[in-house]
Homo-oligomer: A and B are copies of this chain.
């Protein structure tokens, strides 16, 4: 069966094409920085937004017109698998990602729920065998069901902790079964609504206990995917514990988890936390925990997670700049945790939207690569910090000096600073952006 009638495989046609169903910048086989674009840009389709989301928002019901709208239950789940592979292949992509509850409906009991999962996982495994599509990551949805109203691993209710544990156990098994390259822990409702009723200490201790159990179980079953925490500041709880990269890192250190986890950085979560996307990526690089990326964008004037498809070329270029400097994302990828707007309700909008995001990252990648090849920013930075390469600066870096020696030095040296040249650098950046 065909779900997206009239749409063929999306082809690269170049920047002059006015075919809305063609790539203008994404050319999988083009060699950039010595690798095929496709190997660098490990794009992934987000199952929840693309196959499951219906366009409802807090003020209105479903709008999305989808070829699978007639189905229900397990039939719907199966139709979505078929449609997913058709869509991923037509987009020419290699990865997808899902929550357990995206792919199969909950049953009346955990046992039945897991049986539903088994059926669909088996079906997905079959599809994966006959395609080149792989699973970037899977995760457990521990926030939609009312049992998680107060959180999962941080619930005040131990029975909920137990249920969540059961769910993650199954998800790790699914990850192993499908060769998932990563396992993501997004906080869901791990946070609090008001401190008036919250024991933050116990909740965080329990969260760490939960993670240690997950590590142990992965080891036990031989699942070797990378564990990822996905920071997010403000939704759905008033305060989410994994507010941003720094708060996740502080937690990982305290609980001796820093060597077991990397982070999955989402652009829109970064800006909701008051940071730029590139800032969060740079922080992760510095702490050695850049794992994967949720590729989307927010609206800087709106205060919630809008999960728009990424189209701002400044953001995609600066993100790719960090990713290149990181030597790529390794087992991670660029997962489109992005949804078509509620008013873009046609099935064909799914293609327009993915093309928009893919081309924006491809263009950003090429611009970033050229900036790096030309050493534009790196040379400027190297020169700016050159005082640490010799003399007193080299002593500072080498740990060969102390406050007394530096104080003495300071009384004897005049200080001359250099301009930061922000405006000049931004001009050059614009030149690269529009001419690469």
30 contacts between A and B (CB under 8 A): A15-B431, A59-B188, A146-B345, A149-B343, A149-B417, A158-B391, A159-B416, A162-B406, A163-B410, A165-B406, A165-B407, A165-B410, A166-B406, A198-B381, A201-B285, A201-B286, A206-B396, A209-B396, A213-B402, A217-B402, A247-B250, A249-B250, A253-B254, A311-B426, A344-B422, A348-B419, A349-B423, A352-B427, A356-B430, A363-B430
Cα distance A253–B251 in the bound complex, in angstroms: 10
Does A176 lie at the interface of the complex (its beta carbon under 8 Å from any beta carbon of B)?
no
Contact of A246 with B by CB under 8 A = yes
In the assembly, what is the distance between CA of A428 and CA of B18, in Å?
8
Q: Does A359 contact B (CB under 8 A)?
A: yes
A51 within 8 A of B: no
Give the Cβ gap from A14 to chain B, nearest Cβ, in Å: 10
| Contact A159:B419 (CB < 8 A) given known A246-B243, A343-B150 | no
* Chain A 160-182 interface 0/1 with B at a Cβ cutoff of 8 Å (1 = within): 11110111111010000000000
CB-defined contacts of A234 to chain B, threshold 8 Å: 274, 301-303
Contact of A216 among B233, B391, B402, B414 (CB under 8 A): B402
Query: Is A427's CB under 8 angstroms from B311's CB?
Result: yes
- Of A33-41, A85-93, A275-283, which binds chain B? A275-283
A129 interface residue per 8 A CB criterion? no
- Rounded to whole angstroms, the CA-CA distance of A424 and B355 in the bound complex is 8
Known: A396-B158, A404-B169, A415-B160. A341 touches B301 (CB 8 A): no
Question: Which of A4-12, A69-77, A382-390 forms part of the interface with chain B?
Answer: A382-390
Q: Point out the residue from B63, B410, B422 that lies within 8 Å of A341, measured CB to CB.
A: B422
How far does the alpha carbon of A424 sit from the alpha carbon of B406 in the complex, in Å? 48
The 8 A CB mask of A397-427 against B (1 = contact, 0 = none) is: 1010111101111110111111111111111
A423 to B312, CA, bound (A): 12
- Give Cα A363 to B314, complex, Å: 16
Q: Which residues of B are found within 8 Å of A188, using beta-carbon distances?
A: 59
Inter-chain contacts of A233 with B (CB < 8 A):
274
Q: Is A130 an interface residue (CB 8 A)?
A: no
A433 touches B (CB below 8 Å): yes
Given contacts A15-B434, A110-B411, A356-B426, contact A271 B301 (CB under 8 A): yes
| Chain A positions 236-284 with a Cβ under 8 Å from a chain B Cβ | 236, 238-239, 243-244, 246-247, 249-250, 253-254, 258, 271-276, 278-279, 282-283
When distances are taken between beta carbons in the complex, the residues of chain B under 8 Å from A163 are 410, 415
Is residue A225 within 8 Å, beta carbon to beta carbon, of the partner chain? no
A30 contacts partner chain B, Cβ-Cβ < 8 Å: no
Docked Cα-Cα span, A343 to B428, in Å, equals 18
Q: Inside 8 A of A196's CB, which chain B residues have their CB?
A: 377, 380, 422, 425-426, 429
**Residue contact A413 to B159, C-beta cutoff 8 Å:** yes
A1 located at the interface, meaning its Cβ lies under 8 Å from any Cβ of chain B in the complex: no
Instruction: Say yes or no: B352 contacts A195, CB within 8 Å.
Output: no
Determine if A144 and B413 form an interchain contact, defined as CB atoms under 8 angstroms apart: no
Q: How far is the CA of A348 from the CA of B233 in the complex (A)?
A: 31
CB pair B166 A411 closer than 8 Å: yes
Q: Which residue of B lies closest to A363 (CB)?
A: B434
CB distance from A419 to the nearest CB of B (A): 4
